[in-house]
Structure 1
Amino acid sequence: MSEDLKTLLAGMRSCSLCDGLELGAKPIFKLSQNAKILVVGQAPGRIAHEKGRPFDDPSGERLRSWLAVDKAAFYEDDRIGIFPMGLCFPGKGRSGDNPPRSECADTWRSRVMAALKNVELTLVLGRYAIAWHLPQLKNTPVTEAVKHCAEGKNGIFVLPHPSPRNNRWLLQNDWFEQRVIPRIQDRVARLLG
């Protein structure tokens, strides 16, 4: 039997597993029992940590355009959930942000996923999210994982990170925005319509 989502959310909001992080523990997520669409990414970035809101940056602008939803719907519609692998900004590494802390997923992920009963569409962003949600694709390059899930079977799409750092990938893989994005937009429209 799954735990009550309200209890889990309260525990996540007050979580201090990551007190030793560069900027301290500050869990950032957006979840509701009504979530039909779930965005699962890596971990909040520095800007998300500062603003206290996920994807409130250029990456979020691109992600919202991929979903064909405006900023208000993205943040206010409780049918859209955001649940990163790590709830807190993991700090800067040598080449970008550090990976999400494993104890976060070990503590919260299975429990929360079991409590989310209405999710019909999961959008998986990044290597760590792929490894957890699609373990059979754990060692598959991201491009191949995106191709593998391009039809959205079982309600799952893998997306490249919407960061401007991936502009080159998007140019080299124009099939993604031509063929996959319209499928995602159609599913989102049906779930929110």
Structure 2
Amino acid sequence: MLADVRACRICEEHLPLGPRPVVRMAVSAPIMIIGQAPGTKVHETGLPWNDASGDRLRDWLHMSRAEFYDPARLAIMPMGFCYPGRFDRGGDLPPRPECAPAWHDLLWRHLPNIRLTLLIGQYAQARYLGAKRARTMTETVRQFERYLEDGFLPMPHPSWRNTAWIRKNPWFETDLLPVLRDRVQAAL
């Protein structure tokens, strides 16, 4: 299945750097991370979260690089598997809309051991929380305990662009991060 995903070309004509689907997982993984889409550095290396955002995410999780990149521990599946390009004004475009409908359900069927799914950013939260999510991403993340029973933990993107958001919402570090770390350790 992973070979099929990595050979995917369904949105090739829309990708400025060409297709390079980035996904990592093993059947035994108890934790799923669903983010947005690879950036340019991840596209170049083929390694998910291999950038400053990944450094911050690993810090939030209290995980080393070796632990984080062990597919038997963490499955990593973005909403869009390839780098989508950039807006003229800066920042990456949204994930391509073809990926999740084409691949997510198929991949989930091979992941029977997932006990915790981290929904990073609004696109993952929209798909997996649907009508249950709050009006804004901030409200959804703030109400994270509502979703834990279903195995989901919504989070902001760990990008440097969200540093001001993190400062403005100190409850994220005081309330959510300890729960995140406890849940990750329990799932592992």
Q: Using the alignment, how far apart are the partners of 1:61 and 1:29 within structure 2?
A: 18
- Aligned-pair CA distance for 1:150: 3.6
Q: Using the alignment, how far apart are the partners of 1:130 and 1:109 within structure 2?
A: 14
TM-align CA RMSD: 1.4
Shift >3 Å, 4+ stretches: none
Indicate yes or no: 2:85 matched with 1:91. yes
Indicate yes or no: 2:5 matched with 1:12. yes
Relative distance call for 1:118 and 1:60 in structure 2 (3 A) is same
Equivalent runs, 1:1-193 vs 2, <5 Å? 8-20=1-13, 21-94=15-88, 95-137=90-132, 140-150=135-145, 152-192=148-188
Relative distance call for 1:93 and 1:137 in structure 2 (3 A) is farther
Letter in 2 for 1:9: L
Could you report, residue by residue, the CA deviation over 1:90-144 in whole angstroms, capped at 9, with x for unpaired residues? 1112341111111111211122123211100000011111111111146721101
Q: Using the alignment, how far apart are the partners of 1:136 and 1:57 within structure 2?
A: 32
Q: Using the alignment, how far apart are the partners of 1:178 and 1:117 within structure 2?
A: 32
Relative distance call for 1:181 and 1:139 in structure 2 (3 A) is closer
Q: Using the alignment, how far apart are the partners of 2:45 and 2:6 within structure 1?
A: 15
Residue 104 of structure 2 aligns to a residue whose secondary structure is helix
Could you report, residue by residue, the CA deviation over 1:135-193 in whole angstroms, capped at 9, with x for unpaired residues? 1146721101102224633221100000111110000101011111001101111222x
Which ranges in structure 2 are unaligned for 5 or more consecutive residues?
none
Relative distance call for 1:42 and 1:137 in structure 2 (3 A) is farther
Q: Using the alignment, how far apart are the partners of 1:178 and 1:92 within structure 2?
A: 33
Whether the aligned pair in 1 keeps the contact of 2:140 and 2:154 (CA below 8 Å) is: yes
Normalised by the size of structure 2, how large is the TM-score? 0.93
Whether the aligned pair in 2 keeps the contact of 1:150 and 1:158 (CA below 8 Å) is: no
- Aligned-pair CA distance for 1:33: 0.4
Percentage identity across aligned positions?
A: 42
Which ranges in structure 1 are unaligned for 5 or more consecutive residues?
1-7
Residue 154 of structure 2 aligns to a residue whose secondary structure is strand
Q: Using the alignment, how far apart are the partners of 1:140 and 1:111 within structure 2?
A: 29
Letter in 1 for 2:98: E
- Aligned-pair CA distance for 1:18: 2.6
Whether the aligned pair in 1 keeps the contact of 2:23 and 2:77 (CA below 8 Å) is: yes
